[in-house]
Structure 1
Amino acid sequence: MARSNGSPRRATLIASALVVGVIIVAGAVLTGRALLGDETDTSPTARPTSADSSSKCDLPDGDLEKLTEPPADVEWELINTYALPSGAAGPAEETAGVHHCYGRSSEGAVLAAASFAIDLSTPGMDYRQLVDLRVAGPGAAQLEALADFPEADLVELTAPNVSQIVAFRVDSISEDQALIQIVHRYSTGPAAGTFAAFPVDLRWDDGDWKYYAAEGLTAPVPVANLTSFVEWSGA
């Protein structure tokens, strides 16, 4: 699935990861499990910037109830082949192609979960920067292996499996943690026309929602319909 200029271990990592961006995390952590030592302390920490904000970009804190409607006033921008959502709850900053700085709210968590997969799947992404700004947890270091994989191979592996966000569900949310299901619909490749739900575990860390990469990640789940989800798309 990868050309011969990559090692077997790296090819396994990438090939299993690039169906949709979120799987990159699962592939990286699972194939790198043997390399992980003791887990580091990744307890969420907040860095308040004002009386009504705990965001590092001073975005206001908001409602932490489960979101049952699409985030308000969202704009969609085409990034590579993916439609990336943005709104008042973030992203407030973009650094070297990495979208970050989200509000401590249900809307902020949904936007952060949605954009993470897109950032991961963007050709030319600085994965070290991505990990630094958007990832927490003991599996974070394994994602940096993507930085050494040839960009042409990333593009080749991603192209047959284009998908778009079509829905989400907030399974749980608190001040420090959120579990968001992001549903993608495949438009090309072997799974074209089908849906898959991806669990995105977020932690509030250093004033932003970050993806928590840990061992034993839940695999994507095929979805027959969107009945239990909030429909949401920009493409």
Structure 2
Amino acid sequence: MSDENPFSRPSFIFSAGFLAALVVSGALVAVWPDDEDEAGADPGTASAPAGPGETPSPEEAPATPDGQDSVCGLEAHTVEFDMLLPLLDTTWTSIGGMRAPQTAEHGPGVVEDGGARYCYARTPEGAVLATGNFLALANAGGDRMDSQWERIVAPGPGRQVFIAEMESSQAPEGGVGGQIVAAKVVSYTEDEARISLALMAPDAVYASMTFDLMWVEGDWKIVVDESGESDPLFTVLEDLSGYTPWAAI
């Protein structure tokens, strides 16, 4: 199998859907139906703040962490971190076939009818939830964030590039390439986090994707480079050793 990460190429991400297929031994495995049902009761969400913030220009400087409070008032705040415990109170909502997670304590604290999902607690769990929702929303393509992609992508020269690509993309036709089954906090501070999510294809093949996040503008946001790519580390896994079980299926 090639070491190149197929999910990091814009031509793959935005034409076929972020997780339209899982690459295993050179084959594309399409999985999971496209539905919009919920896999659990909604734990309740906070009211959305009054409109998204001003959209920054493509020339803006790279983001730096800030001490801003949660944009929707989530109070949990963790400075030090030892280990990730199973998020037993997670409910899952299907977005374009991929299930997106939510908890009452850690977020997303804002879930709008138009599809926007954002506002996470300043905790490791909040960073994990932000990553899982980013995957589901990006996989669905199109304007699933109701023109509020800046809510989940960190400021920087690549944010407008990412937003333009997402808003012009189409939802995948062949389903998605996996569902979240486990999570790992690779590193965490109150300002920055690296989160790895394990996904499973229907033939029990596991793969992981790893993202960098930053606490900025009062929320956990995915860091993208100047070309608008998050450059997740894609790895086929033999098992889920080192990951905390966190199943969407």
Q: Same fold (TM over 0.5)?
A: yes
Aligned: 1:81 with 2:101 = no
Give the direction of change, closer, same or farther, for the CA distance of 1:67–1:164 in structure 2 (3 Å limit). same
Query: What's the secondary structure of 2:150's corresponding residue?
Result: helix
Give the direction of change, closer, same or farther, for the CA distance of 1:115–1:69 in structure 2 (3 Å limit). same
* Structure 2 residue aligned with 1:231: 245
Q: Deviations 1:20-71 (Å, cap 9, x if unpaired)?
A: 69xxxxxxxxxxxxxxx97723112232xxxxxx211110133341433212
Q: 1:124 deviation in Å?
A: 4.1
* Structure 2 residue aligned with 1:18: 18
Residue from 165, 169, 182 that aligns with 2:184: 169
**Could you list the runs of 5+ residues in structure 1 that have no partner in the other structure?**
1-8, 22-36, 48-53
Give the direction of change, closer, same or farther, for the CA distance of 1:83–1:218 in structure 2 (3 Å limit). closer
Give the direction of change, closer, same or farther, for the CA distance of 1:169–1:135 in structure 2 (3 Å limit). same
* Structure 1 residue aligned with 2:157: 138
The sequence identity of aligned pairs, in percent, is: 26
1-side partners of 2:175 and 2:143: how far apart?
Answer: 19
Amino acid at match of 1:145: E
* Structure 2 residue aligned with 1:118: 136
Give the direction of change, closer, same or farther, for the CA distance of 1:115–1:193 in structure 2 (3 Å limit). same
Q: 1:218 deviation in Å?
A: 4.4
Moved >4 Å (runs of 4+): 9-13
2-side partners of 1:124 and 1:208: how far apart?
Answer: 23
Q: Deviations 1:83-141 (Å, cap 9, x if unpaired)?
A: 22111110110243121000001111111111110011225434673431110133222
Query: What's the secondary structure of 1:129's corresponding residue?
Result: coil
Contact 2:81/2:188 (<8 A) preserved: yes
2-side partners of 1:142 and 1:83: how far apart?
Answer: 26
Bigger fraction of residues in helix:
1
Residue from 183, 186, 193 that aligns with 1:178: 193
Moved more, 66-75 or 195-204: 66-75
Give the direction of change, closer, same or farther, for the CA distance of 1:184–1:130 in structure 2 (3 Å limit). farther
2-side partners of 1:58 and 1:106: how far apart?
Answer: 17
Moved more, 57-66 or 178-187: 57-66
Give the direction of change, closer, same or farther, for the CA distance of 1:15–1:40 in structure 2 (3 Å limit). same
* Structure 2 residue aligned with 1:5: none
Q: 1:170 deviation in Å?
A: 0.3
* Structure 2 residue aligned with 1:90: 107
Aligned: 1:203 with 2:218 = no
Query: What's the secondary structure of 1:114's corresponding residue?
Result: helix
* Structure 2 residue aligned with 1:41: 62
* Structure 1 residue aligned with 2:77: 62
Give the direction of change, closer, same or farther, for the CA distance of 1:209–1:163 in structure 2 (3 Å limit). same
Residue from 146, 151, 168 that aligns with 1:148: 168
Q: 1:221 deviation in Å?
A: 1.0
With the length of structure 2 as denominator, give the TM-score of the two structures: 0.69
Give the direction of change, closer, same or farther, for the CA distance of 1:186–1:130 in structure 2 (3 Å limit). farther
Amino acid at match of 2:152: R
1-side partners of 2:245 and 2:120: how far apart?
Answer: 21
Amino acid at match of 2:95: I
Query: What's the secondary structure of 2:140's corresponding residue?
Result: coil
* Structure 1 residue aligned with 2:120: 102
Give the direction of change, closer, same or farther, for the CA distance of 1:44–1:20 in structure 2 (3 Å limit). farther
Amino acid at match of 2:199: H
